[in-house]
Structure 1
Amino acid sequence: MVTKNKKMKMMTLDQMKDKDIGKIGTVERDKYEFELRMEVLGDMIKSVRKERNLTQEQLGELIGVQKSQISKLERNTKNVTIETILKVFKALKANVRFSVEMNESEFKVA
């Protein structure tokens, strides 16, 4: 039995994303990063709701929507308005901070 020593190349997570999804700024990578952020947002809403000992139905009543809307929000935040997200976090008595970043090289004034 002959064994060969193979060196495994170590890669960072960002390098793996670059290789498998695409470099930052590509359509595929931007879509991936957006979907990941939305998934994290839904998870945060669910986590804070549970921390506050609220059911989906109770949270829905606080912001004036059905339980099913809260369920959808926790599973898929892609089709939700910022206004709804702010209502949810206000009802949960949670502070929200948004960050807006602009890429100056793409900003042009006509």
Structure 2
Amino acid sequence: MKTYTLDEVQDTIIGEVGTPERDFFEYEIQMDLIGKAIKQTRLERNLTQEELGKLIGVQKAQISRLENNASNVTMDTLMRVFSALKAKVKLHVELANMNINVGK
């Protein structure tokens, strides 16, 4: 019986690194991790979804959606959430002829 590494299984089922399918998969994982981190931090700060929503000016439902699927959220909303949770945010963008660093 042949055994397969996790990388081999991912390449076969999801797609090889660099393909659109694999990029989308990796993106969805990252967004899921961001949502889970927001929820965990909110709970550690003893905030309800409603309280966090009031801090940043959105409804409780939007906080719930963000915690469960952060892939369809604006950068502005994410920055306000992280600011309310007192998180440090760093964004690094590399383009062909410039690098951009944003963060606190």
TM range (shorter): 0.7 to 0.9
Task: Give CA-to-partner distance per residue, 1:49-100, whole Å, 9 cap, x none.
Answer: 0010000000000000110110011011111111110100100111122243
TM-score w.r.t. structure 2 length?
0.83
Runs of 4+ residues deviating >6 angstroms: none
What amino acid sits opposite 1:22 in the alignment? G
| Corresponding pairs, count | 96
Identity across the alignment (%): 53
CA RMSD of aligned residues (A): 1.5
Equivalent residues in 2 for 1:4-83, closer than 5 Å: 6=1, 8-11=2-5, 13-83=6-76
Bigger CA radius of gyration: 1
Unaligned stretches of 5+ residues in structure 2: 97-104
**Higher strand content, 1 or 2:** 2
TM-score w.r.t. structure 1 length?
0.79
